[in-house]
Amino acid sequence: MKSFFVEKKYILFPVMMDATCRTVTVCSESKKIFEFDIPVENGNSPYQFQYYAPLNVEKWKGREITIEVEDAQDFLEAIGFSDDRADTVQHKPQIHFSPESGWMNDPNGLIYTNGLYHLFFQHNPFQNQWGNLCWGHAVSKDLLHWEQLDTAMFPDENGSMFSGCGIVNERSLLELPDSALLFFYTMAGGKTKWSEGKKFTQNLAYSLDGGNTLKKMNPPVIEHIADENRDPKVYWHEKSQAYYMVLFLEGNQFGIFRSENLQSWECTQTIELDKAWECPDLREIPVEGGGSKWVFWSADGFYFLGEFDGFQFVTDGIRREAYQTAVPYAAQTFFGTEDVITVSWLRTQNKGRYYKGVMGLPRKLTLVQMGEDLRLRMMPVESFLNARKPVCMDNTCELKYKPEDFKAVQIQLLGAGTISYVADINGNEISFDAETGSLTVNGNQAFMGNNIHEMSILIDAEICEVTTENGLYYGVFELKPSCDIQEWTIRSKEMLSMKVMEIS
């Protein structure tokens, strides 16, 4: 046990990533305020660890706090205190958000307001493995360069913080101002020792300071209705003048709920979608050339076209797939942007890093008429396109390029339906066969379209995002972890237009 009076903004917990987790309890005035599972090794003196995980305790300044963990004196003595967040600088992606340290999964509460993009995310600050699920928080002015802020919401006696969404309180509901930010989330009861016996419920939190601090509201807006019902996504439906929520129920079933006051919700439809599972989103997506179509989205990138009247979604039942690889997952769209912008979690391993999990490049969604069908296009956001600087280009069968520093780089290949090549990019083997449409990255294959005319390869540290035909096909690969800058070589049997662009 360690007791102290709070004088600094942060408690810094030492994290030894491969140690066995133990329950660490933080109390103030004999009341539990936090409980986490943190990897701790006893008999480790002086205590060896990889990084500090900061916990903001500013609201308890001047009060006594007690930290309790069984048989871990070395760990307790290594705990630090600071007015600044701990520095865990590593070689990281430049334009793909990754946490300073710890585990990350689903994007949550995506909001654009007052010139800032807010990205909340599933986060375990205390280990780069799933657990202790909090809502991390980062902000950006351009969707490319992110600043991580203090963790926004923590597990409590009711459960862990599972996924959810965010909107602006434009209609001044809940006795809150129209500038308030509202966050719907799943409280995952029973997923922690502290919440044993509790159920999954859908809950609401709000922020009155632009997203810097979030305050949970009680009671739940939707009580337990299925085993692990979760991942609420809320928007306003203009034609029927009400809010709607899509919610994962169980199996391949989802619920659509409706409310005029954001407190009382009525289930207007239960829908089962082929192989779809968790993290739903339901948006009206513009069709290039005019018009729009409603799209129901699930975690694996499966999407279903249909019509939505504010009560029920009617689909043609055809399951379409947005991703050519299994790395992207649990995408969510932003509230408050003119374009429909999506961000996915990339399920990467990040070997040798203090963090695990990266966010995909934000992409603009449109639908394209392909014969009698519509296909989703996923193009990088405008700020990405504007940030590119051409550094090397030629019409050639071989292109060599050596970056001067660690930067995100896009390679664009253009050809008359005959783009085939082999490449060595920073020690990674990449090739594409135009006839079969097979892209191979370090032995991992994905179909990226037959006889294509355009391919773009985005390299950012260990992340490789590939699109063809200007975003009609999209796949993500994880590259070998390497900090060595090497010469990149691309060879083709046919003459190709090759362009290398650095992103700053």
Does residue 262 fall inside a structural domain?
Answer: yes
Co-location of 418 and 473 in the same domain: yes
Last residue of a domain, one of 382, 405, 430: 382
Percentage above 70 pLDDT, the chain: 98
Q: Is residue 83 packed enough to be buried (19+ CB in 10 Å), middle (13-18) or exposed (0-12)?
A: exposed
Helices and strands (DSSP H and E) totals, the chain: 2, 40
Co-location of 197 and 277 in the same domain: yes
Co-location of 231 and 182 in the same domain: yes
Last residue of a domain, one of 355, 382, 409: 382
Co-location of 172 and 215 in the same domain: yes
Local confidence band at 89 (pLDDT 50, 70, 90 cut-offs): low
Does residue 92 fall inside a structural domain?
Answer: no
- Structure confidence at residue 262 (pLDDT): 97
Co-location of 493 and 411 in the same domain: yes
Co-location of 219 and 340 in the same domain: yes
Is 106 designated active site? yes
Does residue 94 fall inside a structural domain?
Answer: no
Local confidence band at 133 (pLDDT 50, 70, 90 cut-offs): very high
Co-location of 66 and 154 in the same domain: no
- Structure confidence at residue 251 (pLDDT): 96
Local confidence band at 71 (pLDDT 50, 70, 90 cut-offs): confident
Q: Is the pTM of this model over 0.75?
A: yes
Does residue 443 fall inside a structural domain?
Answer: yes
Co-location of 355 and 469 in the same domain: no
3-state SS assignment for residue 219: strand
Integer distance in angstroms from the first to the last C-alpha of the chain? 48
What integer is the mean pLDDT of 168-172? 98
User: What is the CA angle 350-154-210, rounded to 5?
Assistant: 95
- Structure confidence at residue 87 (pLDDT): 67
Does residue 95 fall inside a structural domain?
Answer: no
Does residue 91 fall inside a structural domain?
Answer: no
Q: Under a CB-based contact definition with an 8 Å cutoff, are residues 379 and 471 in contact?
A: yes
Exposed e or buried b per residue across 95-127, where buried means at least 16 C-beta atoms within 10 angstroms of its C-beta: bbbbbbbbbbbbbbbbbbbeeebbbbbbbbbbb
- Cα distances (angstroms) measured from residue 397 to each of 4, 416, 423, 470, 481: 67, 14, 11, 22, 28
Does residue 88 fall inside a structural domain?
Answer: no
Q: Which of 37, 74, 84, 106 is catalytic?
A: 106
CATH number for the domain that contains residue 341 = 2.115.10.20
User: How many domains in the chain?
Assistant: 3
Percentage above 90 pLDDT, the chain: 89
| Residue 400: domain span | 388-503
Q: pLDDT tens digits, residue range 222-269?
A: 998 888 999 999 999 999 999 999 999 999 999 999 999 999 999 999
Instruction: Please state, in angstroms and rounded to a whole number, the distance separating the CA atoms of residues 298 and 379.
Output: 19
Local confidence band at 485 (pLDDT 50, 70, 90 cut-offs): confident
CATH number for the domain that contains residue 433 = 2.60.120.560
Q: Under a CB-based contact definition with an 8 Å cutoff, are residues 35 and 155 in contact?
A: yes
Q: pLDDT tens digits, residue range 295-319?
A: 999 999 999 999 999 999 999 999 9
pLDDT over 90 at 360, yes or no: yes
- Structure confidence at residue 145 (pLDDT): 97
Q: Please report which helix (H) or strand (E) contains residue 386, including its range.
A: helix 382-386
Does residue 96 fall inside a structural domain?
Answer: no
Co-location of 226 and 268 in the same domain: yes
Q: Work out the mean pLDDT of the chain and round it to a whole number.
A: 95
Co-location of 109 and 124 in the same domain: yes
What integer is the mean pLDDT of 81-99? 86
Co-location of 320 and 442 in the same domain: no
Co-location of 130 and 195 in the same domain: yes
Q: With helix as H, strand as E and coil as C, how does 336-378 read?
A: CCCCCEEEEEECCCCCCCCEECEECCCEEEEEEEECCEEEEEE
